[in-house]
Structure 1
């Protein structure tokens, strides 16, 4: 019996054996730790254990479910490598565990980056235009899994929390002196996703209804309010300053062109991808996750951020 098969008495199946890709990373590591705390047998795979870009695992263990969290998370760099890991790698994970529930950690980056995302339903993505290879590859990875039975796709936005290697470092790295420049007036609404909420969704997805689900904190926050709370928790006396949205978008496009022409390994300080996620509203409709997974997320909180 696979994890999605409903027993005759109507109860949910039980997962005892779990595989996790990206288990040495931020999301995969948190999922693996939480599953072990529940007493599950966890088989964790990092890139040194299994390079998913190269092919299926030669001798996979028998598992009830797989949480596929491995990905090339970057908005700059080797586009081919991003596709090999995120698209080919997803195909290889699916082939490795054909009879197991597959929980794929996708991204809200699959929504259209050129227009605001306003309480977006899952049906609004994927689209056909993206700003980065990362977003395009995430969309194509979802297409790889389309039609695969016993599959759940989760789309979190702006994941944060202890061990965050992306969002918090970028915010802190953008501070100059006692100023943090943001694009626009900062009044846009954002659906953020705590690592605890994402882990809860991933574990629930191991036995919930197959499908595609947005994942975020209980309700959206106003960007400038969230940034002020985060900075306050970190003990930083920083003033928010603002760049006009249109001017920033144009400047970022020119900078990206110049950086690519020069073959720069690192992105410019401001990219259109970053602007698209922080300068526009990015809010997600969580109705499907609440109904299909029994998802009950906590509200956004940066309590304890001083230790992150």
Structure 2
């Protein structure tokens, strides 16, 4: 979806419905198989033979890069960078301009300097990036130049234990649809400007105590997952006149391991009363009762 590879949805369909149809077809043909079911999201794997075939078919578009990589086809759009196996930044990357996906894998603290150089190269060279995964990055800060990625739709910062805050330019990512934040201590200022955001995941943010009220301006937000944020309570009441007529789009709210949770975010849920389909609450021992307004959520499945 981030790379614009799905055909346009038919009437009354969402982009995710198209993606699910693709996955179901791959499953039915045994080209991939289900590995784990996490209720709201899933992982898949493919047989070694299928993987070999996929590598052969996609070699002009996809490339795994390490220190031994000497050449890369100019048509390659999707890069997997094995950080642990890199000594410095491969010179072949400096010539590339049209990369759409970057996944940096196996980042280690020992390779922090290489990692920083890689990130700076990606941000300066790859202006058309659609998806960027920096999972478990050793970075302590993101470069302010990340705000220049006007086309970025998917950003994964899960497991970035050293990253505490995001740069001021973050609110310039106006095309961002999916954002995964791990261990950040505060939500970025200017969240209200991320108007295209559809999915927000907060994981392991143990010092985060509340959500920002600016989320009420994210009218396209459909999926909100909050996991293991042990200090967070979600009390968020309508306060202003405009709050009474909010038209939000939440479909899924998942709350897991919120030890301090006593209240649900009324502002967001009442604004999504006609769209919310799934509500998951688990490992929240201080939430003793569902709110009296819960029956207003008329679309719950």
TM-score (norm 2): 0.29
The structure with more helix, counted as a fraction of residues: 1
Q: If you compute each CA radius of gyration, which structure gives the higher value, 1 or 2?
A: 2
Higher RCO (C-alpha under 8 Å, 6+ residues apart): 1
